[in-house]
Amino acid sequence: MDPAKSRVVLPVPAETVERDPGRLRWGTVSTIKAPLRDIARFAAYHLDLGAAEINIYLDAPDPAVLDFFAPFPAVRLTACDDRYWRGKPERARSSHQLRQAYNASRAYRRTDLHWIAHIDVDEFLLTPRPLAEVLAEVSDEAAFARIRPVELLAQDDPWRGPAHFKLTRRERGLTKTELADIYPDFGAYVPEGFLGYTGGKNIARTGLPGIRLGIHGVLHQGAPVSNFERLPEVHLGHAHAPDWAHFERHLTFRMEKGSYREKLRDRMRLRDVLDVILQDGGRDGLRRFYDQLSAATPRLLDRLAAHDMLLTAPLDLDEKVARWFGELPSETPQL
């Protein structure tokens, strides 16, 4: 079946539309398996941005995390233990991707927010003005809004002060030749110059029937919803591989089960590129690949800026954690 022919237009009831930014309430939903510090950074950042509610499904429940957030009602935690999954469809639990979609859809049906974004713990909404103002201006006919990704570059400490992100080739309308100017050795083989996803994420208007929130899509009774609007001034900052150690540590999982795994629809798979690099150059070749695409060297920053593909925004995560939650317990391992 042609996917384009199976798309549906989902009518938006007038009562679900909120035009007053002062009344509009938005929030996030995520299925997370991460240390407390990473969860606190994610939650504090989005609360500081104006989120009314942070819905977190703990994929590996930790009593210390549940206890820490207990005094903060805006952070709603659900422990996804055996008791939680009892009586639920077995398939919904079978992979991380399906657990994410199941939990996000469940939160969507239960929330009283006007909008809810399905994003991950390593993703940060970047907007030059309050998100409530942006969402209040979305067309009445739009069932959801699409947010384009930008990918965090590796730098000494992106969590404090300016953080540098790169845009996709597609967003700036560059040719593949121009992309090769930015990434000379690998631009021709990694079409968007990204290590992570390039399709973006969504923030859905709530109160619509039959909605399923996927990782990158919004479905109605199994069919993709076609009436959406793009948010050109908002981006999703993805800390996919913020440093070499993180990239190397997660490589095997991502190649076998995660975002680098083989996908039938991909004409040019990052998995194929990585296989060749590992076969020909081993770990040193992989490090050269990572550095050229992701290290925030002055040369790469200049190349990105020259092509209008550089976005710089402050995250200041630890400052926000201190403001919203106070002092964290003793240091926990980073992702």
pLDDT in tens, 306-318: 999 999 999 999 9
Residue 132 lies in a domain: yes
Question: How many C-beta atoms surround the C-beta of residue 307 within 10 A?
Answer: 17
Which residues, at least 6 apart from 38, have a Cβ–Cβ distance to it below 8 Å? Answer: 121, 122, 334, 335
pLDDT averaged over the chain? 92
Residue 295 lies in a domain: no
- Per-residue pLDDT at 335: 47
The answer to whether 150 and 126 are in contact (CB under 8 A) is yes
The answer to whether 256 and 275 are in contact (CB under 8 A) is no
Q: Which domain holds residue 25?
A: 3-174+194-240+309-325
What tokens appear for 221 in the block?
A: 């009774």
Cα–Cα distance measured from residue 217 to residue 96, given in angstroms and rounded to the nearest whole number: 16
Residue 220 lies in a domain: yes
Place of tokens 């390593």: 122
Mean pLDDT (whole number) for 193-213:
94
The answer to whether 157 and 241 are in contact (CB under 8 A) is no
Domain count, the chain: 1
Provide the strand spans (E) within 3-83: 26-32, 53-58, 75-79
Residue 47 lies in a domain: yes
Each residue's pLDDT tens digit, 265-304: 544 478 888 888 888 888 898 999 999 999 999 999 999 9
Q: Which residue has the higher pLDDT, 332 or 64?
A: 64
Residue 274 lies in a domain: no
Domain harbouring 22, CATH code: 3.90.550
Residue 246 lies in a domain: no
- Per-residue pLDDT at 271: 80
Mean pLDDT (whole number) for 60-89:
96
Q: Pinpoint the alpha helices (H) of the chain.
A: 36-49, 63-69, 82-85, 96-110, 131-136, 169-172, 176-182, 244-256, 270-294, 298-306, 317-325
Which residues, at least 6 apart from 221, have a Cβ–Cβ distance to it below 8 Å? Answer: 8, 210
Residue 286 lies in a domain: no
Residue 168 lies in a domain: yes
pTM: 0.92
Mean pLDDT (whole number) for 209-232:
95
